[in-house]
Amino acid sequence: MTQSVIDNETQEKLDAFIKQEEGDSNDYKGMLAKFITLVAVGMSLFHLYAAYSIVPTQQLRVIHVALVLFLVFLSFPIAARFKNRLMWWDILFAIGSVFVAYYILNGGDDLFDRNTAPNSSDVMVGVFLIALILESVRRTNGMVLVVVTSLFLLYALFGNYLPAPWTHKGYDLDRLVGYMYMTLEGIYGTAVDVSATLIILFTIFGAFLQFTGAGKFFIDFSFAAMGGKSSGVGRTIVLSSFLLGGPSGSGVATTVTVGSVAAPMLDKVGYEKNAAGGLLAAGGLGAIISPPVLGAAAFLIADFLKISYLDVLLMATIPTILFYLGLLVMVEIDVRKYGMKNIHFQAAESAWQLTKKYWFHFFSLISIVVFMMFGFSPVMSVFWATVVSALSSMMRRDTAIIPWDWFQGKEKIFSGLYNSNLTKALASGSTGVLAIAVTCAGAGLIVGTVTLTGLGLKFSSIVIQYAGGSLLLTAIFTGLVVWVVGLAVPVTASYIICAVIAAPALINLGVPEFAAHMFIFYYAVLSEVSPPTALSPFAAAAICKGNPYKTTLQTWKYVAPAILVPFMFVLDKSGVSLLLMGSTAALEQADWMQIAWVSFTAVVGIICLAGGLQGWFIEKTKTFERIIMVIAGVALAYPSTEADLIGFVGFGLVLVTQSMRHFKLNPRSS
């Protein structure tokens, strides 16, 4: 049932958007392709082994970066004209990456002990490593992040020439290079640690779900469960985006996968092209904030705050529900706004029939959380969830990670394993993490600079000074900083940069540390729908044949109700109830009535904003009704008794006027 209806020209555009997010890798054939596949498989197996066994932290991080750089230089061309051609410099860079790892590991503790006074060889190797990382970032993410990273490094070297309050004592090249790679604070710091222990394991897990057919099942199930009514297509997009996005954590991939199936149906029920694309992109964006995987930055939150990943999932639960609730309300309003017809989409199989066949895919989706609730660490949870996904896939021939024919002796051992979904999943797990991993390594240079120079404290004091000590203005300025940074760099890099330079401003004004980091995470995610890096809306526009910029504006409209949610958990202490108090331990002593009340006001606020932004509610809204609903929505997003009162009065007033107009226009319904 779920077959793509995209023409070749559109598919090329979509491939370009995916490559822009994940990097435009080479497409080799023959022995070279097999070699890279085997290296990628070996990398995945090494990290799975490291999850189960004990590999010293220093060794794991160094080997992880070496393997990532090795694959990046073999897989990504130095320029478009060299694509699919392995050049001598690519081989040189790849070998150089391995040499750097050998140099560090061979140096042992002595190397790390002399980080404040490195010798000439140390400095040369360090400069070479930094150059390799910047080049790998350029190949996978483009020049913008390279320029941003380089500016931070220049600040560390020449910050003593800047005026107050930006000035610092300045650091020479030897001290900077030593700090960046001869300690666990710079390149091999938190970001790379998370990449080597969590992100790659979740990427492998997502690849296992993909190659066992879980993605197709989630879309089929969503269409079967939600089809049949005019709003069914919109609901299907919301549900399938959540189910598909949860394990993938990729906005563009989710948008393209769901859109390739749903776009024609959106057109048939009456969606305008740009609105259809906006809904698809908004659903894809939800993938980055949806448990159990969220985006890669969510793993960094756990490491920055020294909390369990289960606590991060807990904090994300209500905001994620509110995000998708906003989409569902928008979808229901769309039915009236566009005068949609009831067009029934007959599924090949019912939701129950699909569930009876492929029920184990649901268990694979929630198994991570189940393992964590039983006390397993996040690393061990995703390890065993991957094992469960592989074993359960063998229950059916069409989902088997290793083909049944191999066990029956109908395929040769090597060809059977090499061509199996197991090999493809292991290889995809490593290749899929390359762009994120080099971003983490590059971000390590930024974090190292901020830590070394004290830039984070300087920046936070400047923000607070400009805001006049106002928490509201500080939150707005912080949101704008995250948004501006997010225009140019991916979510992971945006979060890391802003977590070290912007979060301290909120924390210094009394915002709980976990709330400040979640605030930055959500705005880093929302910046993904802003040009020039609005990849999901641009991909959705290509699918729906709409205008990319109009589609981006429509995406903003669909996600707008969720934009105010982060303000709810930073402006008032009661707002952290939306984050379920930040941890399982705090939740045990939480005031559940307060959590319920804040969540309820957030729900009503989102409904108000949805109606105000759509221009429709029960009926088409008058101008004054739209203004009142937007004001009411904003008021309900501010956690205080007075604001809640204003919000409920405004919502009630519009509800009365809308109901009266509805009964007047539809006397039979009364």
pLDDT, tens digit (0-9, with 9 covering 90-100), for 621-650: 888 888 999 999 888 877 778 888 999 999
432 pLDDT tier (thresholds 50, 70, 90): confident
154 pLDDT tier (thresholds 50, 70, 90): very high
Q: Minimal CA–CA distance to 559: which of 290, 254, 282?
A: 282
CA distance 70 to 79: 17
CA distance 282 to 557: 9
Using the predicted structure, report yes or no on whether residue 670 has a pLDDT greater than 60: no
Digit-coded pLDDT (tens) for 93-118: 999 999 999 999 998 888 988 988 89
Give the range among 54-58, 128-132, 307-311, 339-343 with minimum mean pLDDT: 339-343
Report H helices in 545-591. Answer: 548-563, 565-568, 584-587
pLDDT at 631: 92
Using the predicted structure, report yes or no on whether residue 78 has a pLDDT greater than 80: yes
Digit-coded pLDDT (tens) for 54-73: 889 899 999 999 999 999 99
pLDDT at 182: 92
**Largest CA-CA distance found in the chain, in angstroms, rounded:** 88
Q: Minimal CA–CA distance to 106: which of 89, 122, 83?
A: 122
Digit-coded pLDDT (tens) for 482-491: 887 777 677 7
pLDDT at 170: 82
In one letter, which amino acid is 157?
L
Using DSSP's 3-state secondary structure scheme, residue 620 falls into strand
Q: What share of the chain in percent tops pLDDT 70? A: 87
Averaged pLDDT for residues 365-388: 85
pLDDT at 163: 85
Residue 395 · residue 176 · CB < 8 Å:
no
pLDDT top residue among 59 and 168: 59
Token pair, residue 232, equals: 């069914």
576 pLDDT tier (thresholds 50, 70, 90): confident
CA distance 455 to 459: 6
CA distance 260 to 281: 12
pLDDT at 157: 92
Token pair, residue 90, equals: 């690519």
pLDDT top residue among 666 and 276: 276
